[in-house]
């Protein structure tokens, strides 16, 4: 009975609903108003046109909570009496050229569409650049420093330089300026977009390339899961047209990474769960993430996701490896599953039936280090040394670039300066509060929890709400959202990606909490995670019947059109 309740979707919806209401109460107790339409869109508080969600009595919140509980209880009653049916989705491996083309075309279309949005003559933390009477964009107040560093990257070693902790972006922008800048200036491209700085076009090009890579990876990931192109296009539109892209497409800055990092984390996590990477591959992954952290610090999120999922895969019941010489095979087709994929699918620990190398469901030379799997299991304590060694390889290689850069700063500048920890106390606020005593620490944690909750509610409610409605639709129609283990050749990949999405969401929330510095644009890290989940659930519900497919596509299409219209027609946000 308890097991059945635990696996009901309504149980999870109820837990999430209670958590959201608890977060709302925390925010309300601080007397903080929330703007659920994006920063600067709610007007002046206290005026007749104010759109702020003002604090309300706890009793009213309790009534709203109770109404939600009653609705979910009714939904649970329906779910308990309806048998779930799994509709398998066939994953597709799209061509890299196809998703790259979609990424570039989608980014360029979205970026130029948002130039039509109205911009105030005076914007906070920036200035308005008008290309002509119809097109304009806000130039962020930090952009000037990024442009200056692109011309003189050596300044990053100056004592107290605010970008000293992110030298990778500085050197990347300097290289782009040296290569692209003269060409862009010669053809007048910078002047066409309202700038006279030769570094402007190269830095905006970096923004656009990051956005294109985000959309391409997002499309590739969803198509591998079997999500239809219709749903991919609609959710991808929200990924490219939103408050972050509106403020930063045309402003030299690093905020595009806020959308890129979560998608990378999901892809890395799914890859680790469905492959058995060698130490060399782990070292390459660690080095890639370590160098990326010198560009944007949030790349520590994919690193944390990788470590957690490596531990999860290793500590589950795993087959005893039996060394068997296997002939070299071509890389397996998308429908074939490697042995580590069984760990993600929950089939690990079952006795393996010998099959020809390269057969579906068996490892081949492209996925395992010349090993096949035999029967039996290894007790988990005996797996710890190997897990510790693999985590050490990943962590040590990832930390090496940052440690090397710190050593360079100390040797050249005499010190290393991290603006985020010195000024904003990111992550160090926890030990600082602990040193002040238990009461101060408890208050700091409570404040951070309330701030994080407020930002997550303000940023994530449209997609979280849509996701909740789609899960409710799945309950009513009897659709099973998570494919059962062994449901088909694509099930292990799908289960791995769903687990990676959930872990990425949890790590992102903890990361935002640990930062202790809250900004609307930074909290957008959670949006790609919600969009991946939304796309998956929408496709599963739509696969149930023709009527369901039309209903989902029409509803999702109407919501996307309304969202794009809102972004194009509304002022703000500008930073």
| Residue 19, Ramachandran bin (φ over 0: left; ψ between -120 and 50: alpha; else beta) | alpha
Q: Looking at residue 116, what DSSP letter applies?
A: G
Reading the block at residue 381, the tokens are 């304590």
**First-last CA distance in the chain:** 51
pLDDT the model gives residue 55: 87
pLDDT in tens, 300-352: 999 999 999 999 998 875 444 444 344 444 444 444 444 444 444 444 444 34
452's CB contacts (< 8 A; 6+ apart) are: 509, 512, 513, 518
pLDDT at 7: 67
Specify the 3-state DSSP secondary structure of 298: helix
pLDDT of residue 511: 96
- Closest Cα partner for 470 from 549, 546, 526, 523? 549
More confident residue, 86 or 216: 216
Is the Cβ–Cβ distance between 433 and 516 less than 8 Å?
no
The owner of tokens 């500008």 is 574
Q: How confident is the model at residue 44 (pLDDT cuts 50, 70, 90)?
A: low
Q: Which residue ranges make up each domain of the chain? A: 2-80, 96-314+387-569, 319-377
Residue 308, token pair as written in the block: 């957690």
Residue 41: the pLDDT is 75
Instruction: Please tell me whether residue 120 adopts helix, strand or coil conformation.
Output: coil
Q: What are phi and psi of 196, to 5 degrees?
A: -115, 15
Q: What is the DSSP string of 234-290?
A: HHHHHHHSSHHHHHHTTS-SSTTHHHHHHHHHHHHHHHHHHS---HHHHHHHHHHHH
pLDDT tens for 179-197 read 999 999 999 999 999 999 9
pLDDT value, residue 47: 55
């Amino acid at each position: 009975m308890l097991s059945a309740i635990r696996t009901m979707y309504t149980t999870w919806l109820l837990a999430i609903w209670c958590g959201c209401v608890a977060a709302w109460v925390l925010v309300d107790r601080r007397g903080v108003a929330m703007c659920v339409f994006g920063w600067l869109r709610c007007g002046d508080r206290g005026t007749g046109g104010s759109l702020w969600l003002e604090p309300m009595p706890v009793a009213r919140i309790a009534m709203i909570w109770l109404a939600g509980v009653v609705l979910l209880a009714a939904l649970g009653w329906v779910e308990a009496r309806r048998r779930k049916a799994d509709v398998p989705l066939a994953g597709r491996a799209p061509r890299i050229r196809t998703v790259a083309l979609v990424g570039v075309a989608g980014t360029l279309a979205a970026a130029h569409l948002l130039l039509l949005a109205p911009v105030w003559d005076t914007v906070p933390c920036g200035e308005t650049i008008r290309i002509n009477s119809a097109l304009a964009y806000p130039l962020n107040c930090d952009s000037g420093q990024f442009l200056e560093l692109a011309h003189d990257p050596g300044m990053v070693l100056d004592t107290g330089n605010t970008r000293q902790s992110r030298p990778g972006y500085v050197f990347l922008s300097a290289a782009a300026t040296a290569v692209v800048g003269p060409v862009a200036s010669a053809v007048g491209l910078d002047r066409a977009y309202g700038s006279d700085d030769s570094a402007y076009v190269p830095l905006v090009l970096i923004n656009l390339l990051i956005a294109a890579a985000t959309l391409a990876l997002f499309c590739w990931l969803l198509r591998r899961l079997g999500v239809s192109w219709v749903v991919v296009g609609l959710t991808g539109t929200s990924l490219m047209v939103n408050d972050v892209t509106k403020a930063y497409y045309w402003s030299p800055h690093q905020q595009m990474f806020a959308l890129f990092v979560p998608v990378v984390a999901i892809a890395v996590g799914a890859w680790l769960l469905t492959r058995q990477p060698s130490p060399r591959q782990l070292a390459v992954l660690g080095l890639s993430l370590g160098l990326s952290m010198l560009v944007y610090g949030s790349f520590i999120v994919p690193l944390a996701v990788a470590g957690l999922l490596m531990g999860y895969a290793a500590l589950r019941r795993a087959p005893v490896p039996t060394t068997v010489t296997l002939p070299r095979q071509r890389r397996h087709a998308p429908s074939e599953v490697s042995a580590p994929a069984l760990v993600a699918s929950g089939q690990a620990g079952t006795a393996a039936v010998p099959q020809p190398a390269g057969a579906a469901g068996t490892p081949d030379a492209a996925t395992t280090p010349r090993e096949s799997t035999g029967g039996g299991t290894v007790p988990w304590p005996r797996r710890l040394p190997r897990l510790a060694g693999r985590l050490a390889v990943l962590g040590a290689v990832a930390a090496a670039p940052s440690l090397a850069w710190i050593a360079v700063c100390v040797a050249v500048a005499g010190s290393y300066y991290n603006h985020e920890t010195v000024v904003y106390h990111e992550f160090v606020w926890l030990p600082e509060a602990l040193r002040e005593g238990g009461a101060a620490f408890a208050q700091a944690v409570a404040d951070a929890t309330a701030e994080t909750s407020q930002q997550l509610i303000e940023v994530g409610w449209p997609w979280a709400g849509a996701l909740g409605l789609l899960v409710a639709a799945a309950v009513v129609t009897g659709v099973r959202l998570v494919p059962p283990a062994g449901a088909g050749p694509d099930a292990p990949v799908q289960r791995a990606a769903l687990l990676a999405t959930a872990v990425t969401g949890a790590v992102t929330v903890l990361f935002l909490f640990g930062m202790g510095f809250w900004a609307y644009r930074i909290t957008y890290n959670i949006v790609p995670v919600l969009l991946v989940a939304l796309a998956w659930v929408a496709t599963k519900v739509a696969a149930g019947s023709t009527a369901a497919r039309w209903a989902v596509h029409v509803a999702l299409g109407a919501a996307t059109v309304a969202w794009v219209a809102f972004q194009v027609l509304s002022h703000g946000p500008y930073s």
